[in-house]
């Protein structure tokens, strides 16, 4: 067996695949020790880090288990992988949005030291705390006048330039003048939706949808038309086309990459086709791409913005998921709606705080941000793998779940008899937070679904929480 440095795949993945093949073929069986790191280095002529990375991949795939001072042992075969939820259904009419459920629930967002399966937040280990603290004090010391003065839309020129330069990674090409800095992606989405709608209008959304989008639609008196979505590929574009043909729709809104709550990611072909549909109907799209950079392996997926030639896409993102949610720095690239979004930003809160903008710009320009994102991608990948593994071990057989390739939310379909709101209550009593399915639909659907957050490093405590949840689900499965 030989590894090929010329092959498109990295050496550690080739090595992991080779060892996985041997485990599958029965060369190594449950309980056997695979060759030591030293032996593998010699046998394959690769570096220590290549072997260690390959072993980590095997651990993530649940094939081997590391034992301290002893080596890697083949694990007993996993339970059969669960199937994914089926594509959801489109609604038959646009509905008034009542997002008050989300506001009433406690998802455990308050305390970053306390891992939560509820809110889609990350642990401090996944934030660039030390580097940003240093850069914040640097900008406050060296640029006090700028940091303490009013800024104006579109925001800091240095940050907008860095953001524009990084657009190439997502496939779009813009200049600093096209970017409007906002206080997080939530504000970017809010301003974008406001810029293209008026009260009473209908917005076509994916189903299930990020609940904060529902809050925006509800607060602006907009109606939602839910479009069927696949848990892996996102919005059903045939259904969207039909909806746009059959009624007036003011805008479409979705999360293009590693959506919340399903983790779905649209293919490039679908992104291109969606832009064609928008062009034909002259309908704008509010694209939320906060998770695109958190792809687990390989290059970051494109933004829909990459295919937009007519300025119909209002692109929204932030550094909340990648770097720090507390800094509240996001941005919009509103295309032909630039003036409207800038004016709304001015009306709502004048400008985003200056010091976080300057600190982030320095972080981006130093290359520190790229290094940080490379590191956290691996952490998010491992956390997702551990969560999936635990759900498969502890939840009843009839459970289905998604397999996101990025981001940090997992969408779980429970056996039909389980009511997610009842489960939420029981979990709460046991000190466990979850996000129940009905939060993600204006029509209160997804009664037997929950979203689990995978944003914290895996711990014994999280494993126990998932075990308890599995028991609570089993008790309610009928």
Ligand X SMILES: Cc1ncc(COP(=O)(O)O)c(C=O)c1O
Interacting residue ranges for ligand X, rule: CB under 6 A: 120, 184-186, 210, 255, 260, 288, 290, 318, 320, 325, 330
CB of 13 to ligand X, least distance (A): 29
In the complex, least distance from residue 91 CB atom to ligand X, rounded to whole angstroms: 20
Burial of 478 (0-12, 13-18, 19+ CB in 10 A): exposed
User: How distant is the alpha carbon of residue 144 from its chain centre?
Assistant: 35
Rounded CA gap, 277 and 244, in Å? 9
CB of 289 to ligand X, least distance (A): 9
Least Cβ distance, residue 226 to ligand X (angstroms): 16
CB 423 within 8 A of CB 435: no
- Closer of 247 and 350 to ligand X (Cβ): 350
**Which lies closer to ligand X via its Cβ, residue 153 or residue 261?**
261
Min dist CB 236 to ligand X, Å, is 19
As a whole number of angstroms, the distance between CA 180 and CA 441 comes to 29
Can you read off the two tokens belonging to residue 329?
């720095």
CA diameter of the chain = 69
333 to 282, 285, 353: CA distances (angstroms) = 18, 12, 19
Both tokens of residue 6? 């010329």
Which is closer to ligand X, CB of 51 or CB of 126? 126
Are 229 and 88 a contacting pair, CB within 8 Å?
A: yes
Of 207 and 320, nearer to ligand X (C-beta) is 320
426 vs 201, 265, 400, CA distance in Å?
38, 32, 21
Helix/strand/coil for 401: strand
Nearer to ligand X, 51 or 185 (CB): 185
Residues 6+ apart with CB under 8 A from 26: none
- Cβ proximity to ligand X: between 319 and 394 the closer is 319
| CA-based nearest residue to 28, from 61, 72, 79, 78 | 72
Select 20 or 212, whichever has its Cβ closest to ligand X: 212
The residue among 85 and 325 lying less far from ligand X, judged by its C-beta, is 325
Q: Output the smallest distance, CB 108 to ligand X, in A.
A: 13
Residue nearest to ligand X (CB): 184
What are the residues facing 316 on neighbouring strands?
288, 332
Enumerate the H helices of 67-112 as residue ranges: 100-104
Closest CA to 252 of 234, 272, 229, 226: 226
Which residues of 251-297 form beta strands (DSSP E)?
251-255, 285-288
Smallest gap from residue 118 Cβ to ligand X (A): 11
CB of 119 to ligand X, least distance (A): 7
Smaller CB separation from ligand X, 290 or 341:
290
The minimum distance between CB 253 and ligand X, in angstroms, equals 10
Query: Which tokens in the block code for residue 450?
Result: 């929950």
Smallest distance, ligand X to C-beta of residue 211, A:
9
Closest to ligand X by CB, 63 vs 216, is 216
CA separation for the pair 451, 119 (Å, rounded) = 9
């Amino acid at each position: 067996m030989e590894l090929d440095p010329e092959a498109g795949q990295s050496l550690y993945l080739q090595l992991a695949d080779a060892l996985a093949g041997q485990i599958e073929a029965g060369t190594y069986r449950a309980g056997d020790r695979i060759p030591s790191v030293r032996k593998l280095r010699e046998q394959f002529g690769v570096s220590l880090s290549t072997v260690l990375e390959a072993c980590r991949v095997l651990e993530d795939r649940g094939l081997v288990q590391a034992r301290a001072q002893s080596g890697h042992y083949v694990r007993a075969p996993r339970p059969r992988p669960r199937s994914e939820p089926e594509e959801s259904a489109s609604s038959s009419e646009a509905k008034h949005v009542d997002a008050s459920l989300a506001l009433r629930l406690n998802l455990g967002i308050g305390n970053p030291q306390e891992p939560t399966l509820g809110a889609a937040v990350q642990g401090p280990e996944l934030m660039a705390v030390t580097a940003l603290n240093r850069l914040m004090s640097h900008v406050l010391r060296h640029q006090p006048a700028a940091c303490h003065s009013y800024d104006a839309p579109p925001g800091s020129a240095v940050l907008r330039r860095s953001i524009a330069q990084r657009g190439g990674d997502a496939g779009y090409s813009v200049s600093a003048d096209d970017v409007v800095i906002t206080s997080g992606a939530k504000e970017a989405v809010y301003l974008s939706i406001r810029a293209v709608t008026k009260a009473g209008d209908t917005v076509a959304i994916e189903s299930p949808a990020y609940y904060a989008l529902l809050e925006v639609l509800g607060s602006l008196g907009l109606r939602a038309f839910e479009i069927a979505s696949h848990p892996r590929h996102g919005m059903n574009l045939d259904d969207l086309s039909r909806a746009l043909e059959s009624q007036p729709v003011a805008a479409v809104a979705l999360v293009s990459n590693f959506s919340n709550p399903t983790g779905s990611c649209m293919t490039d072909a679908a992104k291109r086709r969606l832009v064609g549909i928008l062009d034909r109907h002259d309908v704008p799209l509010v694209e939320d791409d906060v998770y695109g950079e958190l792809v687990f392996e390989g290059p970051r997926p494109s933004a829909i913005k990459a295919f937009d030639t007519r300025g119909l896409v209002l692109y929204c993102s932030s550094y909340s998921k990648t770097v720090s949610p507390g800094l509240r720095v996001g941005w919009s690239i509103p295309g032909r709606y630039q003036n409207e979004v800038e004016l709304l930003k001015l009306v709502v809160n004048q400008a985003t705080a200056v010091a976080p903008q300057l600190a982030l710009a320095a972080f981006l320009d130093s290359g520190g941000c790229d290094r940080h994102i490379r590191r956290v991608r691996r952490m998010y990948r491992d956390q997702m793998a551990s969560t999936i593994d635990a759900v498969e071990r502890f939840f009843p057989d009839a459970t289905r779940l998604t397999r996101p390739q990025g981001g940090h939310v997992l969408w779980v379909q429970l056996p039909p008899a389980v009511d997610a709101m009842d489960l939420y209550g029981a979990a709460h009593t046991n000190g466990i937070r979850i996000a129940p399915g009905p939060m993600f639909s204006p029509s209160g659907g997804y009664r037997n679904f929950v979203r689990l957050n995978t944003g914290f490093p895996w711990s014994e405590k999280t494993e126990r929480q998932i075990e308890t949840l599995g028991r609570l689900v089993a008790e309610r499965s009928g």
